Structure 1
Amino acid sequence: MKRRSLLVFLSMLFYLTAVSGTTDHDGYSDIAEEEEDTTYLDYDNLHWCHSLRLTNGEATCHSPRGRAYRTTQGTRCDMRCDRGYRLIGSSSIQCMANRRWSGTSFCRNTEPPKIRCPRSRIKFADPGKLTARVSWDTPVATDTADKVLDVILVGQQPGTDFNEGANIIRYKVYDQARNRAACKFIIRVEVKRCPALLPPLHGSLACSSDITNYGSTCEYHCDAGYERRGVSGRVCQFDRNWSDDPAECVPMEIKSDVKTASALLAQFFQKRRLLILSAPNTSDPDYELQNVMIQKTDCGLELRHVTLIELVGSPPHETGRIKENNLTSQVVDELRQTFRISRSYFSMVLVDKLGLDRERFITPMASEELFSYIDSFELDEEERESLERHRDLCD
C-alpha cells in the first residue's frame, strides 16, 4: 500500500515539473520579439547589456540590485521621447540573459518647423515709375530638433522692383525628418494716377513714363504757327492732381509793320501756309462772294494752318492786310511781284510752308473744295491726325 502511494506521488510531481517548464509565446511585436527570461537570476555571475542611449529622449532604468547595476540582467528601462518626437518601438525593454535588450526604440521628429513671414504690405510706385522697390528681412525658421535650417524663397527676391498689382511671396523650410512648414505674404504695388490730360488745340503733349502716373511730367508743344500761352509743363502729384493750369496754343503774333515782303514771309516759313486773295476793288463780285465764304471758314483755315492775306485795289488806294493788321504799300507791292499777282482781276494764290506757290484759283472757291485740295496735297501725316482729332470743333 505504501509503495503504491509513493508511485502516485512521484507521478504527480513529474507532471507538475513538466507543466512548469513549458512557456506559451502568444505575444507579437512589430519591432522586435521580446524573449521572456524565465531563468533564475544569478547575481553572483551577472550578465551585462550594452549601455542604452535614446537620442532626443530618455531611458529610465530600474535594476533589482540598485542604481549601480543599470545594465545588468533583469534591468527594465522605460523609454520616453522629448517633446516634438514620437517613440518608435518598445516603450519598455529588459536586459536578458543573452546580454541583449528585449527590444529596440528610437525617437522620430514629428513636429514641423516654425516659420513666420513678414506682414503683407502696400507700396506706392516710385515717382515716374510703374514699379516699387521693396526690401524685407528673410524670415528665420526654428525647429525642436535641427538648429540650422535653410529657408527657401519662392518668388521675387527682396530689394528688387515689383510690378503693379499683387505679388505673392512664399517661403518654405524642411527639417531633417522632411517635416515641412511654409508661409506667405503679399506685396501690393499701387500706382497713383492723375486724370488723363488732353492735348491743346493746335498742339500736343510729350509725357514721360505712363503719361498719368505719379511723378510723370507732360510738356506742351504747339504746332507750327502757334505759340504757347501758359506753363511749359505739368507734373502729376501724389494727391492725384496735376500741377498748374493747362496751357493753350494760340496763333503766333504776326508783325505786320515790317518794311519788306521777305521779312513778312520769314515769319511764316515752315510754320504756316498763306492764302493770298487779290481783287481789283472791294465791290468786285467774285471778291464779295469769296469773302463771304472765307469768313465762314475761319476755323477750318486755322485747323489747316492757313493765314489769309488780302490785297485789294490799286495805287494810290491799294490796301493789304492780315485780319485787322494793315501792311505797308511797299510790302504789298513786293508780294504782288514775288507771286506775280495781277491787280486787274480776282485771284487766289495758295503758298505752302516753304514759301512756294502751290496753286492758283481765278474763280471763287467753296470751302469744301479748298479744304479738299489742302487736305489731299498739303497736309503731312501728323497734320492729318491732328485734323481728325479736332475736326468736330468746326461743326
Structure 2
Amino acid sequence: MVQLKLLVLFLVRLVAPLHYEGSGYSSDENFHNEVYVEEAPRTPVLDHRAPRWCYSLNLPDGETACYSPQGGNYRSTLGTRCLLSCDHGFRLIGPRSVQCLASRHWSGIAYCRRIRCHVLPALPNGSYYCSIGVHVDSRCDYTCAPGYLIEGDRSRTCMEDGTWSGTEPICVDIEPPKIQCPPSREKVAEPNKLTALVNWNLPQAKDSADGIITRVKLRGPEPGSELPEGEQIIRYTAYDRAYNKASCKFTVKVQVRRCPVLKPPLHGYITCTSAGNNYGATCNYFCDGGYDRQGLPSRVCLFSQVWAGSQPICVPMKINVGVNSAEAFMDQFFEKRRLLLVSAPESSDRFYKLQNTILQQATCGLDLRHVTVIELVGQPPREVGRIRELQLSDEIVEALRQALHLSRSYFSVVLVDKYGMDRERYREPVSSDELFTFIDNYLLSQQEAALRARSTDPCE
C-alpha cells in the first residue's frame, strides 16, 4: 500500500508541467524564475598532423605550389597554403591562393580557362589562314585575291590578353585591267570616193581583280565610219571600279588609188568627178568654142591606176557655109559659139568702119569668149555675107536677116548666145569693153566663169 502511494506521487509530479502548455517555462522555472542557456558546441580539436585533412588539390591546365606548416610532405594538411597559376595560354579564374581550412575544405575554388581571341572578320577580296584558330600564339596570315594588293599588316597574332596584334589590312585593286584592241588594218577607198567604210570589232576588256569594267572610252572615229584618206589612230581606254585604267590603240589606213593627173587638151578643158584622178573618177573632155573634139568624150580612172582609153584632141571647127537653110547654118554653132552679126547698108558706112576696127583689135578677146563675127554688108545684088574669108550664100544671108530682123537700111549689131537667142542689140558701134562686160556678166556658163576665174587673161 505504501509502495502504491509512492508510485502515484511520482507520476503526479512527472505530469504536472503539462498543465502549463504554451508558457515556455516548466513548473519549477515558474516557481523559481530560473533561465537555462544552451552551451556553445565545443571546437573540435585540430590536428595539424593529419596527413589528408583537405582533399588533394588538382588544377587542370595549371599548377599549384603548396606550403604546409608540417613541411613539404604534408601538402593537404590543415593550414596548408597553395599558390595557383595557369599554363601559357590559359587564364586563372578565381583566387590566386587557397588555404586548407578546419572545415576540411579549401578556402576558394579556381580553374584555368583557355584564352581565346575573337574571330577575325572576313577580308573583302581576300582571305586569311590561322595556324591554331583563335587561341594564344595563333598566327593568321592574310592574302588577297588575284589583282589585289594587301595594304597593312600581312599577319596578326593572338596575344595573351585576348586581343590580336596589329590592325586589319585591306585588299586594294591597284592592277590595271586588261584590254586588247583589234589589229591594225588598211582599206582602199571605194570607187569615185575619197573615203572608205571601215568596221572593226570592239576591244576585249577585263579587270584582273573582279572582272568588272565600268567604262570603255573611245578616242577616235566609231566603227562603221567613213574614214578619209590617210592614217587614223583609234584608242580605247578601259576603267575598272577602282578607277584603274588601261589603254590600247590600233591604226586604220585608208588608201586612195590615183591615176596620173590628166592635162586638158589644147584649146579645151576637162571636168572630173570626185578628186579628179582617184579610182573611179570620170573626166569629161570639152573643147573651146570654135573647136571640135576628136576622140572619146570621157575617161575613167581604173583600179590599176591607169586611165581607160586615150586622150582626145580639139581641132578647129569647120564651118559649112554650103548648107541649105539658116537653121542648119545656125545649128553648127549651137552650144559652141556665140554670134555677133554686124549689119551695114554699105561698106563705106562710117559706123561700120569704126566697128570693124574695134572688132579687129578685139580678136583675142572674142575668141576667148567664143564669139564668131558675121558681117552682112551692102544691098542686093552686091550684098556680101561672110565669116572672115568664108562667103555666105544669098539665101543664107536673106534667111539670117529675116530670122533676126536685120534691116539693110541702117547700121546695127546683134549679139546671139550659144543657144541661138537674140540677147542684145546696138544701133551704134559698141566698144570691146562694153561688149565683153555684157558677155562676162550675162552669157558665160558656170563652167566658163570658173575657168575664167582660175586662169589669167591671155590677151593682156
TM (normalized to structure 1)?
0.65
Q: 1:1-395 counterparts in 2 under 5 A?
A: 40=90, 45-48=113-116, 49-50=118-119, 53-54=122-123, 57=126, 59-63=128-132, 70-81=133-144, 84-96=147-159, 100-103=163-166, 104-155=168-219, 156-192=221-257, 205-221=270-286, 227-238=292-303, 242-247=307-312, 253-261=318-326, 263-265=328-330, 267-268=332-333, 271-276=337-342, 298-310=363-375, 320-323=385-388, 325-335=390-400, 338-341=405-408, 349-353=413-417, 354-355=421-422, 358-359=425-426, 370-381=431-442, 383=444, 385=449, 386=451, 392-394=457-459
Task: Decide whether aligned partners of structure 1 residues 291 and 40 sit closer, same or farther in structure 2, where only a CA change above 3 A counts.
Answer: closer
Q: Name which of structure 1's ranges 94-103 and 39-48 shifts more when overlaid on structure 2.
A: 39-48
Shift of 1:203: 6.1
CA distance in 1, matches of 2:424, 2:149: 101
Contact 2:90 2:112 in 1 (8 A): no
Letter in 2 for 1:87: I
Contact 2:193 2:280 in 1 (8 A): yes
User: Residues 114-150 of structure 1, C-alpha deviation per residue, up to 9 Å, x if partnerless?
Assistant: 2233344444433333333222222222343212324
Identity in percent: 42
Letter in 2 for 1:50: V
Q: Name which of structure 1's ranges 41-50 and 374-383 shifts more when overlaid on structure 2.
A: 41-50
CA distance in 1, matches of 2:422, 2:319: 16
Q: Name which of structure 1's ranges 88-97 and 150-159 shifts more when overlaid on structure 2.
A: 88-97
Shift of 1:53: 4.9
CA distance in 2, matches of 1:389, 1:134: 36
Unaligned runs of at least 5 residues, structure 2: 1-84, 93-110
Q: Name which of structure 1's ranges 110-119 and 328-337 shifts more when overlaid on structure 2.
A: 328-337
Letter in 2 for 1:114: K
**Number of residue pairs the alignment of both structures matches:** 344
CA distance in 2, matches of 1:202, 1:305: 11
CA distance in 1, matches of 2:207, 2:401: 98
User: Residues 200-225 of structure 1, C-alpha deviation per residue, up to 9 Å, x if partnerless?
Assistant: 67766544334454433333456777
Q: Name which of structure 1's ranges 41-50 and 208-217 shifts more when overlaid on structure 2.
A: 41-50
Letter in 2 for 1:71: V
Q: Tell me the SS of whatever aligns to 1:111.
A: coil
Please provide the CA RMSD for this pair: 4.7
User: Residues 282-308 of structure 1, C-alpha deviation per residue, up to 9 Å, x if partnerless?
Assistant: x99999999899777654432233223
CA distance in 1, matches of 2:223, 2:368: 53
**Structure having the higher Rg:** 2
User: Residues 159-212 of structure 1, C-alpha deviation per residue, up to 9 Å, x if partnerless?
Assistant: 122344554422222333333222233434454555665666776654433445
Shift of 1:152: 0.8
Letter in 2 for 1:75: S
Shift of 1:226: 5.8
Letter in 2 for 1:105: P
Q: Tell me the SS of whatever aligns to 1:264.
A: helix
Task: Decide whether aligned partners of structure 1 residues 79 and 225 sit closer, same or farther in structure 2, where only a CA change above 3 A counts.
Answer: same
Letter in 1 for 2:340: L
Contact 1:225 1:272 in 2 (8 A): no
CA distance in 1, matches of 2:321, 2:264: 30
Contact 1:127 1:214 in 2 (8 A): yes
Corresponding residue for residue 7 of structure 1: none
Shift of 1:255: 3.8
CA distance in 1, matches of 2:331, 2:191: 43
Unaligned runs of at least 5 residues, structure 1: 1-20, 22-36, 64-69
Q: Name which of structure 1's ranges 311-320 and 230-239 shifts more when overlaid on structure 2.
A: 311-320
